[in-house]
Structure 1
Amino acid sequence: MQFKLLAKDRGTQARRGTLSTPHGEIQTPIFMPVATHAAMKAMTPLQVRETGAQIILSNTYHLHLHPGEQLVQKAGGLHRFMAWDGPILTDSGGFQVFSLPNKRITEDGVFFRHEDTGEEIFLDPAKAMEIQMALGADIIMNFDECIPYPCDKGYAERSTAKTLRWAKQCKEAHTRKDQALFGIVQGSVFEDLRRHCAREMVKLDFPGYAIGGVSVGEGLELLKLVVGYTAPHLPEDKPRYLMGVGLPEDILESVERGIDMFDCVIPTRYARSATLFTNRGRIRLTNKNFRRDFYPIEPNCDCYTCRNFTRAYLHHLFGANEVLSAILASIHNVHFYLNMMSRIRQAIEEGRYAAFKNEFLAEYKRQDRG
């Protein structure tokens, strides 16, 4: 994997680059739609590709439980299994494991129960690498402890030390040369812990770095602070990934602070509940006001949904509980995010990112009815 920095914005830390992988080149900053179970909810791979998606994310924890990494490997790897020929990133499963009830965290790993069978499972750095190497994604993640928010500093210190120790073990266990293993910076909201973790992680010389533990309920203002005092300690010549983020405003603020990669389930999750993103904010298509609204979701949008269907039609589909409602809404929302990222890249190239961000948010917040 190679990362090339193409441009830096005047007046902010926003960056424009390219990330080369065995399955294609990625233009950054980029948003990665989430295909948790090796499938985008309510979308085919072709539909995902047509939204402008360049890379997708799948989940190690869920694929380990079902269908199992051995079956995926036997099928020819994750790309062939799910018929996606572009780049794929798999997370380590750490966030999912640590959000489970009744888990038992030790210094070596985590014990938890299989969600279907109740069988006790142990996951540690070596096992997380074994699973991800079998899945065969282009970019894989360290196994870390996702620190809950809020937490006391003592716990955060011990957890951050564990994440650094596990990162070393992950690097030692990872042997697949066609994968890029990213390190994950933790430290909760404590500046000194984030700074220490970033510096120690950089010493391990990973090909890319992620900031984890920032989508656990801390809010936008703390998110901005954490990213602001973590990103400067990460190498300029390597990609920076903010995990699990998020809303358009989260992404815009984080790009300004030097982040290159994002992922979140929000576009498709919101779509299934009839919440659609537009340049003037979110709208809820189950609202009765849309029953006779024969405009597209976004008048200037060129996604498949907006080219062919009206708000009134989608209002009808959601009211009739038709599966097509989730499909058409998901296509639009994912397209909205990828189009936003394209506009972000253009603004950085033109050296006017701050102005673009302010203009976008002023319009976006004007009529937010989500």
Structure 2
Amino acid sequence: MKKDILFYIITLFYSVSLVLFSVYSYSQIDLNLTLWGNPVYQSFQNHMIYLGYFNRPLSFWIFISLVVCFFACYIFFLKLALGKKISEGKVLFLILFSSGLLFFSYPAFSSDIFNYMFDARIVTKYHLNPYEYKPLDFSSDLWLRFMRWTHRTYPYGPLWLILTVPLSLLGMEKFVLTLLLFKFSFFLLHLSNTFLIYKIVKGMKKDLAFFSSLFYALNPLILIESVTSPHNDSIMLTLLLLSFYFINKKKNIISLAFLFLSGAVKFSTWILAPLFIFKLFRKNLVYISALALIIPLIVQIVNREPYPWYFVPLLGIISLFTNYFYLQVAAIVFSFMEVFQYAPYLLLGVYTTEVAEIKTYIFYISLYIIFICVFLYKIKTRR
């Protein structure tokens, strides 16, 4: 009875934190963007803009406090799930409730979703090829006022464009409607990834299926990068998980087809093709695939910087191996440090070289902490 009361108290605390985070996300709304002309909303937006742009120290500490709350609740729920002290219904509720609340948050930490929208808009409104035309070529378009990376042509695989064009058409050139359609699609992708992790783990270690799905779905980094400020790494993971699912069912051709489709969103997963085609490391294919995905990650980090969303597919695969405690610890520590990467920008307000360096330092510190945690765990287990 006492444990049930504690669960409901923590769940209430978690719910309030989610609501506050969704509200806080509007503090990062672009100054050139107005989502709604309603006077009440306008007053709300102005107050949030003042917090995010003109009271950055307070904004910084609010963000840090909410992130700490998220991870504390996340670890509490994981502990309950690992000890079989939480029902399947409660697990399902937590997954749906958390992602459902964050669906209404503003994409505060990345403008990528706006780029996805405009890339599709080049096709649906201007009837041109985004591989040949960049957003900056349409300088009179009002959407450019709040966009970033307008100087590049389409950088993704063709499948992502094919999937986003219908959303743009349904949006009927209305910005808010199009944004909601895109966000709802990412919301569904997040739930799909959670379900696929459940199905795959159920086929390997049935008793860990719900724990693994919770491990992925409530990870604050995953929620932020898949629902709040979503990225197409989510659908890349969806297709990759489908590939793993079907190879476990010994349906190799279907599995290879989904691997190909995953690479048609972002090309990095095609590095796994030889493993699937030649059936290398068949007994440990998923584990070896996780290691292989580190290679394109290193290339991306060296060429750019360690953006948090790069690690969504890797964390998704790690969620399939929650029977390894050191992987759990490593994933949680790493996720916390990656979310913390947003803190320097929230405090300083500009992406300077200094901010980029701080973010890189945070990344390497997280790797060092993970190494120490794994090392200590190995020592403990040998005693």
Structure 2 length normalisation: TM-score?
A: 0.26
Per residue, is there more strand in 1 or in 2?
Answer: 1
Per residue, is there more helix in 1 or in 2?
Answer: 2
Structure 1 length normalisation: TM-score?
A: 0.27
